[in-house]
Amino acid sequence: MKFVISAGCGRFSTRIDTEDTVRKAMLYGMAAVCAVGCAAPPARLHVGPLDGDVAGWIATHPLAPDAGIRADRLVRLDGTSHHLVQVRTQETPHRHATHDLQVLVLRGGGTLHLGDATIALRAGDVAIVPRGTAHWFVADGREVAVALVAFSPPLDAPDQEPVTP
């Protein structure tokens, strides 16, 4: 029997006898190494001052050791404002009376409480928070969660009202 395993960066082919478990293990191991080694690099964001370097931005705008959250506005457009938010612990439950949010998790993960729903989020996930909806994010504690958050209309003044969950 011949197995062929293809991956984005190469192609492995070998003949494997039905009982040859060692060869199978090696073949699958090679495929796994290739898959991991060839994984797409993290997305680069070209939003305002980020210029593709989220890690560099975070290094120069670190979350203070005793802070649970930090939000920095990156750019304001006519219809939206975009912010880089770092969460070590959790947000306080709140709602925004006049803003919708779009959240793109860039790093880390946690749980978004959105109205009556509880949603697990990890890097690459997107969540929409309609205005007036109670919400808060709780980081999972493995690393600081980082998200790109867009407010529509642009956030020019505080619009965070506390809520009781």
Task: Tell me the per-residue pLDDT of 88-134, one tens digit each, with 9 for 90 and over.
Answer: 999 999 999 999 999 999 999 999 999 999 999 999 999 999 999 99
Query: Measuring CA to CA, which residue among 100, 102, 114 is closest to residue 153?
Result: 100
What stretches in the chain show pLDDT beneath 70? 1-43
Q: Bridge partners of 2?
A: 15
Check if the beta carbon of residue 85 is closer than 8 Å to that of residue 69.
yes
pLDDT attached to residue 2: 35
Alpha carbons 161 and 97: distance in angstroms, whole number? 8
Residue 67 to residues 93, 144, 149, 154, Cα–Cα distance (Å): 17, 11, 19, 25
pLDDT attached to residue 47: 84
Structural domains in the chain plus CATH codes: 2-37 (no CATH), 48-162 (2.60.120.10)
Residue 40 buriedness (CB in 10 A; 0-12 / 13-18 / 19+)? exposed
Alpha carbons 2 and 42: distance in angstroms, whole number? 34
